[in-house]
Structure 1
Amino acid sequence: MLNMIRLIPRLDIKSSHLIKGVKLEGLRKIGNPNEYARRYYEQGADELLYMDAVASLYGRNNLTEIIKETVKSVFIPITVGGGIRSVADAREILRSGADKVAINTAAVQRPDLINEMAKTFGEQCVVLSVEAIKQADGRWLAFTDNGREHTGLDVVEWVTQAVERGAGEILLTSVDHEGGRKGYDLDLVRAVTSAVNVPVIASGGMGEAMHGVDAVKAGADAIAMADILHYDRDAVGGIRQVCLDNGLEVRPPQAILEAAS
């Protein structure tokens, strides 16, 4: 685990709207993603995660203009995922202002894409996005298309292969827990963090700040948050303070440092 824990608001986007659902389904419009991104930046977020929730419908990522607008007033790393199927797609997203690119479906369909992206942009730029669903036998299988498409891949085996190919980070989403507000799938976090030596972002299920603490203690290097922030049940600063109160090391918030300088 890295020394400094990262707090990462997750913004799932449909068209030009920030949306939220449960188990990646039943998506509801929340508001303007740029306004929420700016709010979370000012609250002290360490990074932002943008995911195109309907990229599979279009076969490409449609967040370029949103990212271009975001980086005008937000100065923290941004990861963008959804519908990125080639090195050219990734290059376009990076040129729009993103710092890292998350891939899922395209990596499953053609694992060599991980190698190609790592060679072209560097491993630190390549994030493997995993949508995990627990099976009756206790294993987790990887899915795509918001948890609808079965890949047949064992999650632990898949992330291990991806890291060997050059993935520099894992975005680990529990579809079972996503939107449920009952906490992250800690067994899943332990299984994946025990198998790889790259940072793992826990995603899916944060209902209160202590859930983030639990995920970090299970091995996560960062926690992705959506529902808890979008519906104002807590703020990044409050979650950061709970982490500090429980002995976790968190990064100094960049926006707050800039305001004080």
Structure 2
Amino acid sequence: MLKKRLIGAVVVKNNIAVQSFGYRKYLPLGKVEHLVENLDRWGADEILVSVIDRSSCDAGPDFDLVRSLAKLNLSTPLIYAGGIRGVDDAVEIIKSGADRVCVDSLLHEDVNVVSKISHAIGQQAVIGSLPVFYDGCSVRWTDYKSGTDIELNEEVMQSLSELVSEFLIIDWKNQGGRNRFDENIVRYLPEVACSCIVTGGLSEPQQIKQYIDMDRVSAIAVGNSLNYRENSVQTLKEITMNEQLRPAYYDECFRLNYE
């Protein structure tokens, strides 16, 4: 049974896909549908679409975007994040075509709402997004709305793990960088039963292999570097050579060397 996944991540701001650097600087990449269609065609195991400017203005989820992506008839499971305010939003996102939802600010604001979402669509369909950084002593969990952070200790992790199927652990300070993920985040992250998707500054094959081989890591989410060239997904899978990953596949005549 395959237990590990390589997730293609697409960041969306102002209705277009962007290259994001620490969620502070952005460069346009183009139409979201085009990037998602490429990731589906290239063999990503899941696709994460994060619309990062919905919660800050209480705009709610981008249902139109999800419906537009559903019309592509993707063969790859779709995860949606951005602007989810409650049960109705989460249910509608699933009805619109997403397979799972990812919640962030709700984990700070009202865990009871997250619990209700898990009951409504199934805990397996809910991912908890945790933007974090290592401060030299502990892993800190950032609340981007308030600009504050708290220690992500075992008690906090355990309580959250009862609400979601996986954690999306984001090294937000190094997000968008090449080979920049802070290994101390995984090293000092409290051990709980819930598995983790790790992302932020992950780009190089050997770096990705290091984390995909860890027992507690269920998936790697890669964003910017997968958009630079065709066959990036397949090449990463081939180099990492993890038997729990779905095998790479592509036409040999289009093989490209990963640099």
Distance 1:172 1:51, change over 3 A: same
CA distance in structure 2 between the partners assigned to 1:113 and 1:11 by the alignment: 26
Q: State the partner residue of 1:83.
A: 83
CA distance in structure 1 between the partners assigned to 2:164 and 2:107 by the alignment: 10
Contact 2:177 2:201 in 1 (8 A): yes
Identity %: 22
Are 1:202 and 2:198 matched, yes or no? Answer: yes
Given residue 237 of structure 1, which amino acid in structure 2 is its aligned partner? Answer: Q
CA distance in structure 1 between the partners assigned to 2:237 and 2:246 by the alignment: 9
Contact 1:18 1:32 in 2 (8 A): yes
Contact 2:13 2:51 in 1 (8 A): yes
Are 1:249 and 2:250 matched, yes or no? Answer: no
CA distance in structure 2 between the partners assigned to 1:233 and 1:207 by the alignment: 15
CA distance in structure 1 between the partners assigned to 2:16 and 2:22 by the alignment: 18
Greater share of helix: 1
Are 1:175 and 2:162 matched, yes or no? Answer: no
Q: State the partner residue of 1:47.
A: 46
Cα distance, 1:126 vs structure 2:
1.1
Are 1:21 and 2:20 matched, yes or no? Answer: yes
Structure 1 segments unaligned to the other structure (5+ residues): 257-261
Cα distance, 1:200 vs structure 2:
1.1
Distance 1:156 1:21, change over 3 A: farther
Q: State the partner residue of 2:148.
A: 150
Cα distance, 1:190 vs structure 2:
3.9
Q: What's the TM-score once normalised by structure 1's chain length?
A: 0.86
User: For this pair of structures, how many residues does the alignment match?
Assistant: 249
Cα distance, 1:51 vs structure 2:
0.7
Runs of 4+ in structure 1 off by over 4 angstroms are 252-256
Indicate the larger mover: 150-159 or 117-126.
Answer: 150-159
Are 1:98 and 2:95 matched, yes or no? Answer: no
Cα distance, 1:44 vs structure 2:
0.4
Distance 1:250 1:213, change over 3 A: same
Are 1:119 and 2:119 matched, yes or no? Answer: yes
Root-mean-square deviation (Å) = 2.4
For residues 52-67 of structure 1, the aligned pairs below 5 Å read 52-67=51-66
For residues 24-35 of structure 1, the aligned pairs below 5 Å read 24-35=23-34
Cα distance, 1:210 vs structure 2:
1.7
1:168-225 CA-partner distances (Å, limit 9, x unpaired): 1111101122112124333322444x62222311110112122211112344110001
Cα distance, 1:151 vs structure 2:
3.7
Given residue 103 of structure 1, which amino acid in structure 2 is its aligned partner? Answer: V
Distance 1:175 1:6, change over 3 A: same
CA distance in structure 2 between the partners assigned to 1:155 and 1:81 by the alignment: 24
Q: What's the TM-score once normalised by structure 2's chain length?
A: 0.87
Contact 2:62 2:82 in 1 (8 A): no
Contact 1:228 1:234 in 2 (8 A): no
Contact 2:58 2:83 in 1 (8 A): yes
Given residue 83 of structure 2, which amino acid in structure 1 is its aligned partner? Answer: G
Are 1:4 and 2:23 matched, yes or no? Answer: no
CA distance in structure 2 between the partners assigned to 1:157 and 1:189 by the alignment: 17
Say which of 175, 181, 185 aligns to 1:184.
181
Q: State the partner residue of 1:259.
A: none
Contact 1:173 1:203 in 2 (8 A): yes
Contact 1:130 1:170 in 2 (8 A): yes
Indicate the larger mover: 203-212 or 39-48.
Answer: 203-212
